[in-house]
A and B are shown apart, each in its own frame.
Chain A
Amino acid sequence: MNVITDLGEKKRVMEKQIAGRESKLIFEKSRPGKRVHLTPKSKISQSVKREWIPSVLERKREALLPELSEPEIVRHFLNLSQKNFSVDTNFYPLGSCTMKYNPKINEDMAAHPSFTNLHPYQPEETVQGILRIFYDLEQWLIALTGMDRFSLQPAAGAQGELLGMMIARAFHRSNGDTKRRKVIVPDSSHGTNPASAALYGFEVVTIKSNERGRVDLNELARATNEETACLMLTNPNTLGLFEDEIIEIQKMLHQKGSLLYYDGANMNALLGIARPGDMGFDIVHLNLHKTFSTPHGGGGPGAGPLGVKKRLEKFLPVPLVEKKGDKYFLNGQLPASIGKVKSFYGNSGVLLRAYTYIRKLGIDGLCQVSRDAIINANYLRKKLNGTFVIPYPEFCMHEFVASAEAQNSFGVHASDIAKRLLDFGFYAPTVYFPLIVKEAIMIEPTETESRETLDQFAKVMHEIDREARECPETVKLAPHTLPVSRPDEVAAARNPILTYRDLISQKS
């Protein structure tokens, strides 16, 4: 345990230095007269004619914006960056989020001027390179999922889901089937699933999981009827378990005229192992910022391409990238299309990163991704088993759920353990999700973590368990070494201060 204590000490000293630094807002550092000259001063102001900005249209209210010099700006943001955990600096055992390493070459390609300076409305003959990238990427996603066609348009997983709901509705309507207003989701599903269905006007039916942590076939049979539009499913599910009755599930749903939607958040478990298309899913979204290594960016941008089976192809949003001879073009002539969910073609820069990643790894590398992700998860699961309750005692796929039930009897909760991990330089696992496990701690190590890191993480988890029993306050008041600890979130919501203007008006 000495190793850990030393590490903790070292980190503590370092973090104290960070904590000591003031976190002034950029507005609080601003002083009138400071500025960065970007535009040739001589060319402005004197040449602007009064009639170009009629008084009735002119802005009157002064905007409160900061004024700083370039060196101050750089220092401001870089000091802020030091207050973040990130994949480049820390292990994120964050279940359901696939916080894998983001290869640097991806960033170079997405910052390439031959890409960044492309306007979305340029003539097709001037953008053949990027259209080819879109075209090939679609083919590769088709190969990996077993679907027939993809739209690269959705900006995120949740937007892919929304698009999926639109397509499900369009499909049923095209069959003259207007009664199907219900979407079934398991109680272990991601929050975006029911939210996406509801946003598009579907009624959400939640079904319970069985004692094996899977979809309960009896429940499902009871919930499915001629009003069911779609079942939304993650496989492996959020417990990290493969839905082993998927064939029976898809048969049941299809027999009753429903579609099956695959939430691709957990696709990192399946590359080269199994394909949602073969499982019978009709609609699939992928999170490129999870499985395909594009960075999370502190919350986005991501990309959520949507794949469908042949019979749903005509409903995809416009435009689709197609090829005629050796020329690529954007096909906007799809009369049955649901329309458009985003301007232009999608998060092109994210698509380019994913393309770079797939091309780099190739078939063998991609298969290795899921194998190592599964090995890492099972290894860690084994290491924590016993100290932490593992509610579903079987091998997991790329992630698993533990429970802090045992630690609970000392007054320590899953969230406390999560916060205490931060003191040791590990990001917190996902906690209290899925909702069906008490005190859930959901762990997904990904394939880009070394065995040494996993060993160290397991050691720290055991240490925190010891603390929970011997000195629970240490855990309950954690973190102790970061710039802040345990913010009062209730106060933040009761009296929302959401802008600098709010802040100064409260002070005065």
Chain B
Amino acid sequence: MSYFPLTEDDRKQMLSEIGVKSFDELVAKVPAQLKNPVLDLPEGLSEFELRQYLENILGENQTARELLSFLGAGSYDHYIPSVVRHILSRGEFYTAYTPYQPEASQGTLQTIFEYQSMMAEITGLDVVNASHYDGATAFAEGCLLALNFNQRQKVLVARTVHPEYRQVMKTYLSGTDFQIEEIPFTAAGTLDLEAFRKMLDMNVGCVAVGSPNFFGVVEDLDEVSDLTHKHGALFVTTGHPLSYLVFRSPGEWKADVACGEAQPFGIPLNFGGPYVGYFATTRSLVRRIPGRLAGITKDRNGRRTFVLTLQAREQHIRREKASSNICTNQALCALAVCVYLSTLGREGLKDAALLNVDRANTLRSRIEKLSGYQIPFSGAIFNEFVVKSKRSVSLLFEKLLKKGVLAGYSLEKDYPELKNHFLVTATETKTEEDLDHFAKLLGKI
């Protein structure tokens, strides 16, 4: 009971100061038929017991570190410098409230401003919000922004966008009259331009694609972007943000909105969350961006001050007319991103990105040489790629798991047309020996 500062004595005295004889008088307005429900809950534990109990349960997991993991597919194991966790463990950051009172929140506000600045540089766009729930929700709201912006009915989304992102977008749009159509992919695992041309008409308000796409392929988006803009639609992109340090950024593809998952920047796998969605737009869309924005102004003494700004977009001011319903975001995760990016720095980030390119390409070349496996998509990749196996993927995965290896992500469930295909990811955390070991195991099976 160590979280309660009131003593039994305090309670008695306070009740008497309030002017009641018993606690029940305070809740007399609660109808009797509702009162004091029977709760099926366990008894409390001491902290010592609790730790043992929880560590036992957590011990039933086998982590992606205890195993040798080549799983990615939207959730990436990158090295996280110690600094990140130490700074995030500061109570002054993690127990702070949303920075609505600028005078009491300059620390948080400045870090949000720095996060926005760094992510704007990386995406090559002008404005970034203070964070979104995750990549999928950022993507869904990015498309929604585009549709609302030009008041058109249709979104064209590449089938090579992460299946869960497409599913979340579909769910978000299900209450509206907006229509979703999927752009197919070519035999090279890239967007089918011919099909796209035919689908594009003046009802299309938004074209959304991924690069690197879900198959790991980095796409040439020049023509897609041009065509989209010629038809007056907005161009939305998503992708692994570390790839933008070496491959063309959304801004360089003339994207209007870039949104996706910033988890690779300093956030552990965490069984899928909390992560953090990045949400970037051009300056002309700034007044439609969902969520919080930190800006700079001066205080009454002329001192530089960070504040939340353009709040007239937000739910606590505009209610049903707000640009989104988002309130709580992923601020602490955005701080992790900010610290991570600062720690690796301009050169370190490029190195990390290159090392990903190196690991994935090295592994791809090795697997390509193995009999029983093919590399169906030969385009440029960042840190993941598709492998086609002669045998059933589920059997293959089962055998590899017995050898302590998580081989990757099976694509059959989301893409029935890709039977026996799976996605393999190799980040900078994989050593030469890891790649060797994996390739050898694959070769033997």
Contact = CB atoms under 8 A, between A and B. Distances in A.
Interface string B157-171: 000001011011011
B439 interface: no
B127 interface: yes
B237 interface: no
A143 interface: yes
A65 interface: yes
A195 B318 contact: yes
Given A349-B270, A484-B106, A246 B320 contact: no
A361 B46 CA distance: 9
A22 to B, nearest CB: 10
B135 A344 contact: no
Interface stretch (A3-11, A54-62, A216-224, A406-414): A54-62
Q: Which 7 A-B pairs have the closest CB atoms?
A: A344-B272, A362-B44, A88-B91, A297-B332, A120-B272, A299-B331, A339-B171
Interface residues of A, number: 202
Nearest to A132: B57
A335 interface: no
A501 interface: yes
A86 B93 contact: yes
B415 interface: no
B358 interface: yes
A340 B17 contact: no
A195 B249 CA distance: 33
Contacts of A85: 96-97, 101, 104-105
Contacts of B43: 362-364
Given A116-B270, A359-B42, A66 B342 contact: yes
Interface stretch (A30-38, A253-261, A464-472): A30-38
A87 B95 contact: yes
Nearest to B408: A121
Nearest to A332: B413
B284 interface: no
Interface string B68-111: 01010111010101010111011111111111011111111011
Nearest to A36: B343
A493 interface: yes
B310 A158 contact: no
A449 B107 CA distance: 24
Contact of A39 (B26, B252, B319, B428): B428
Contact of B296 (A241, A287, A497): A497
A59 B246 contact: yes
Given A113-B63, A120-B271, A123-B397, A57 B218 contact: yes
B331 A300 contact: yes
Nearest to A452: B5
A289 B315 CA distance: 19
22 contacts: A25-B114, A36-B81, A36-B348, A38-B351, A52-B358, A63-B249, A66-B342, A86-B94, A87-B97, A108-B51, A158-B328, A159-B325, A298-B331, A301-B274, A341-B168, A364-B44, A375-B26, A378-B14, A419-B103, A433-B316, A453-B5, A501-B117
A38 B75 CA distance: 20
B196 interface: no
A338 B174 CA distance: 9
A427 B314 CA distance: 22
Interface in B296-355: 296-301, 303-305, 307, 309-312, 314-322, 324-333, 335, 339, 341-349, 351-352, 354-355
Contacts of B45: 359-360, 362
Contacts of B164: 340, 343-344
Given A57-B247, A191-B315, A159 B133 contact: yes
B60 interface: yes
Given A84-B105, A477-B300, A39 B348 contact: yes
Contacts of A120: 75, 269, 271-272
A384 interface: no
Interface in B226-281: 244-249, 251-252, 261, 268-276
B444 interface: no
Contacts of B324: 195, 199
A340 B171 contact: yes
A348 B272 contact: yes
A77 B339 contact: yes
A100 B97 CA distance: 11
Contacts of B137: 155, 159, 341-343
A304 B273 CA distance: 13
A128 interface: yes
Given A43-B358, A73-B342, A374-B23, A126 B171 contact: no
Contacts of A368: 1, 4
A14 interface: no
Nearest to A477: B300
Question: Which of B116, B164, B271, B357 has its CB near the most chain A CB atoms (within 10 A)?
Answer: B271
Contacts of A324: none
Interface in B206-235: 218, 220, 222
Contacts of B3: 100-101, 103, 293, 361, 365, 447-448
A488 B80 CA distance: 38
B110 A191 contact: no
B102 A487 contact: yes
Given A61-B251, A297-B333, A343-B134, 7 more contacts: A25-B117, A45-B354, A66-B118, A166-B174, A345-B272, A447-B3, A491-B297
Contacts of A86: 91-97
Given A23-B304, A65-B121, A364-B44, A130 B346 contact: no
Nearest to A153: B273
B67 interface: yes
Contacts of A477: 300
Contacts of B295: 492-493, 496-498
A482 B114 CA distance: 21
Given A86-B95, A375-B11, A501-B120, A339 B320 contact: no
A143 B41 CA distance: 7
